[in-house]
A = this chain, B = another copy of it.
Amino acid sequence: MAIERSTYKDHVIKHIYNGLQENRFRAGEKILESHLAKDLGISRAPIREAMADMVSAGLLEYRPQVGNFVAALSAKEIIDSYVARGVLEGFAISQGINNFSNKDLLRLEEMAHQMEQFARQDQRKALIDIGQEFHEELFRHCTNSQVVLFTKQLSLKLHLLFYKHWANVYTPEEIRDRHLEIIAMIRKKDPVKLEQLIRQHYIDTGHKIVEQEN
């Protein structure tokens, strides 16, 4: 199976990421450069670059002179990642708390209700997509490039876990209420409590995910 055009590295990254999502690469497993090279019909050079990228994104782990392995997150690492995300996202959103118009908030509320519907109908992809959209909307007013960067990194990593376990983490009603709670707190214009709330939200989610992993 060959690849079409432009820089190969991005294609390789996508290929591996899809593999992770579809569980074709299992946690802890070693990924051979030569296998990917043969599968994709290209040389090892772009594959090495792609894997190096994914190592820095935390999706793979690298042992010198040995190779790359699918990152096997321990329970603590999963929780740590969710906590870190809560810290960053809590700050980001609280900082822009006054930039949300009533129209923005109404739209967010509508999205929360849509998420409930999708969850109820087991439409995983639609739910994940609108969930991402929701968070992007919350982040829209964060202009701190560094915070945005870190958060995106974490998103990429945690997305895989959430994609796998979402159905067993929250009920449709909980999904709706948890998001509505955040919106309500934005309305109250209390940045400190909002930050706490968002942190707690991610702490809870992290623990729930860990329960599912075991």
Q: A residues near B, CB below 8 A?
A: 7, 45, 48-49, 52-53, 56-57, 64-65, 76-77, 80-81, 83-84, 87-88, 91, 143-147, 150, 154, 192
Min C-beta distance of A151 to chain B, whole Å: 10
Our pick among B49, B64, B65, B83 for the contact of A146 (Cβ within 8 Å) is B83
Looking at chain A's contact residues, the main secondary structure is helix
Copies of this chain held together in the complex: 2
Closest to A95 in B: B83
Is A146 a contact partner of B84 (Cβ separation < 8 A)? yes
Q: Which residues of B contact A65 (CB under 8 A)?
A: 7
Q: Nearest 4 A-B pairs (CB), nearest first?
A: A56-B56, A84-B146, A80-B144, A80-B146
Q: Which residues of B contact A77 (CB under 8 A)?
A: 145-146
Min C-beta distance of A196 to chain B, whole Å: 9
In the assembly, what is the distance between CA of A117 and CA of B36, in Å?
57
Min C-beta distance of A68 to chain B, whole Å: 13
